[in-house]
């Protein structure tokens, strides 16, 4: 067993930390936060320096690496700043589904500009009546001689306001059973690619955190899309989404990991510097133990998150079937525990922790969504229960414990 990062991984982690320190300047962060602006210029620089698409094929300019390398970058970016780190990651994460299921032509068209930091991607699965339950879509996809026609409404699409393309999950066969008959299709923002109809994009305002991203409702009115934009096998749409979620949930875990590490670093230095009753507050056991517990929890989250990423990249045959078990563990446990850690950091800051300029209250708000999107905590616990119920106890005993 070797817990060390490779030389290349250490270099990536260091480079990501340096990039974030240099680019996420406090005045830019505050401006993006208060104006609800996506930091496109920083995203572009991240692309130019190779931080986007580390797991994408080299043929499209990607790094040809894995989920683990992505996790290291996301962790460092979110450690430096939750708002910036999450907004940048969420701009390229959706395109992962094109990496997994796209044809070489689709990968060249959609991933190459994304890797350069020129394009932003989005996924549109959620609908007003279908959030946790994606086993049926009300958005329909109908085959015509010269294209596919989309009708319906999606909600909460991250990056809706500026994404260059959307991966839409739609019901192609209305008579199929639950979870079946769905297809994923690539919808471009550029209306010149449409063969008819229209797409309306309406911003949804008033989010708790994640202020540097747009959240949108998409409405498709007989929107006709070229046949070449079908993504993956027709009728396998939900399975495509679930395969994507296995990796993406590990990366959402890394957002939460970086968020709580950043909060911890601030809390540690505050606890050493702030004096009350003529002593640094870290010397009061109530605060010292809080800092110690934050540290212990972070260690457990870090290694769990890295193990999840390692499984995605290297899973031996006998463990490949249990990847969803571990992605669900990471996706519920890391954000939930990170919330508790960030909450503790607010305690360490006292009244100052309640204000924007100490950053920890923003980390708390930003982190909260990691428990919700890409499958809520409750949905992850349902997955874990279902898998554990069906696994052979001997396999659990011998291989997983």
Would you tell me which residues interact with ligand FAD (CB under 6 A)?
122-126, 131-132, 156-158, 207, 210, 215, 369, 372-373, 375-376, 378-379, 382
- H/E element holding 220? strand 215-225
| Nearer Cβ to ligand FAD (125/148) | 125
Smallest distance, Å, CB 161 to ligand FAD? Answer: 12
Contacts 24+ apart (CB under 8 A), 291-297: 291/264, 291/267, 291/348, 293/344, 294/260, 294/264, 294/267, 294/341, 294/344, 294/345, 295/264, 297/260, 297/337, 297/340, 297/341
Nearer to ligand FAD among residue 19 and residue 166 (C-beta): 166
Beta-bridge partner residues of 392: none
Q: What separation in angstroms does the CA of 232 have from each of 43, 79, 91, 185, 363?
A: 28, 35, 21, 8, 36
Query: What is the per-residue DSSP string for 378-392?
Result: HHHHHHHHHHHHHS-
Which one, 157 or 367, has the nearer CB to ligand FAD?
157
In the bound state, the residue with its beta carbon closest to ligand FAD is 131
Q: Nearest distance from residue 123's CB to ligand FAD, in Å?
A: 5
| Token duo for residue 67 | 């989920």
Q: Which of 272, 299, 266, 302 is nearest to 284 (CA)?
A: 272
Between 214 and 358, name the residue whose CB sits nearer to ligand FAD: 214
The least distance separating ligand FAD from the CB of residue 244, rounded to whole angstroms, comes to 11
| Catalytic, out of 228, 374, 378, 399 | 374
Taking the complex as a whole, the smallest distance from the CB of residue 170 to ligand FAD amounts, in Å, to: 12
State the CB neighbour count (10 A cutoff) for residue 285: 9
Q: Retrieve residue 395's tokens.
A: 């396999």
374 catalytically annotated: yes
241 or 298: CB nearest ligand FAD: 241
Distance in angstroms (rounded) separating the CA atoms of residues 58 and 279: 55
CA angle 297, 259, 321 (to 5 degrees): 70
Name which of 11 and 133 has its Cβ closer to ligand FAD.
133
Compute the least distance from the CB of residue 110 to ligand FAD, in Å: 16
At its nearest, how many Å lie between ligand FAD and the CB of residue 204? 9
Residue positions annotated with a catalytic role: 374
């Amino acid at each position: 067993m070797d817990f060390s990062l490779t030389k290349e991984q250490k270099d990536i982690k260091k480079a990501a930390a340096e990039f974030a320190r240099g680019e996420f300047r406090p005045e830019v962060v505050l401006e993006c936060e208060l104006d609800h602006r996506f930091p496109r210029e920083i995203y572009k620089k991240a692309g130019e320096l190779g931080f986007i698409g580390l797991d994408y094929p080299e043929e499209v300019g990607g790094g040809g690496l894995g989920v683990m390398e992505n996790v290291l970058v996301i962790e460092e970016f979110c450690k430096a700043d939750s708002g910036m780190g999450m907004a940048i990651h969420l701009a390229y994460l959706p395109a992962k589904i094109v990496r997994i299921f796209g044809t070489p032509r689709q990968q060249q068209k959609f991933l190459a500009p994304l890797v350069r930091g020129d394009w932003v991607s989005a996924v549109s699965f959620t609908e007003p009546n279908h959030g946790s339950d994606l086993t049926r879509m009300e958005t329909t996809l109908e085959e015509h001689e010269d294209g596919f026609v989309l009708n319906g409404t999606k909600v909460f699409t991250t990056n809706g306001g500026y994404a260059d393309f959307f991966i839409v999950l739609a019901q192609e066969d209305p008579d199929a059973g639950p979870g079946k008959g769905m297809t994923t299709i690539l919808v471009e923002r550029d209306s010149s690619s449409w063969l008819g109809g229209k797409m309306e994009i309406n911003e949804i305002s008033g989010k708790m955190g994640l202020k540097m991203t747009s959240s949108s409702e998409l409405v498709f009115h007989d929107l006709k899309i070229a046949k070449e934009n079908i993504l993956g096998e027709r009728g396998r749409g939900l399975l495509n989404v679930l395969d994507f979620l296995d990796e993406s949930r590990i990366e959402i875990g890394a957002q939460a990991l970086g968020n709580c590490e950043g909060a911890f670093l601030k809390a540690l230095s505050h606890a050493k510097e702030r004096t009350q009753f003529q002593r640094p507050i870290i010397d009061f056991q109530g605060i010292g133990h809080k800092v110690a517990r934050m540290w212990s929890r972070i260690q457990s989250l870090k290694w769990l998150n890295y193990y999840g990423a390692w499984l995605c990249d290297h899973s031996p045959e006998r463990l490949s079937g249990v990847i969803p078990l571990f992605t669900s563990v990471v996706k519920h446990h890391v954000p939930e525990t990170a919330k508790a850690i960030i909450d503790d950091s607010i305690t360490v800051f006292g009244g100052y922790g309640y204000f924007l300029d100490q950053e920890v209250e923003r980390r708390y708000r930003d982190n909260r969504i990691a428990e919700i999107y890409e499958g809520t905590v409750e949905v992850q616990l349902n997955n874990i229960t279902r898998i554990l119920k069906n696994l052979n106890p001997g396999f659990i005993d011998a291989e997983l414990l």
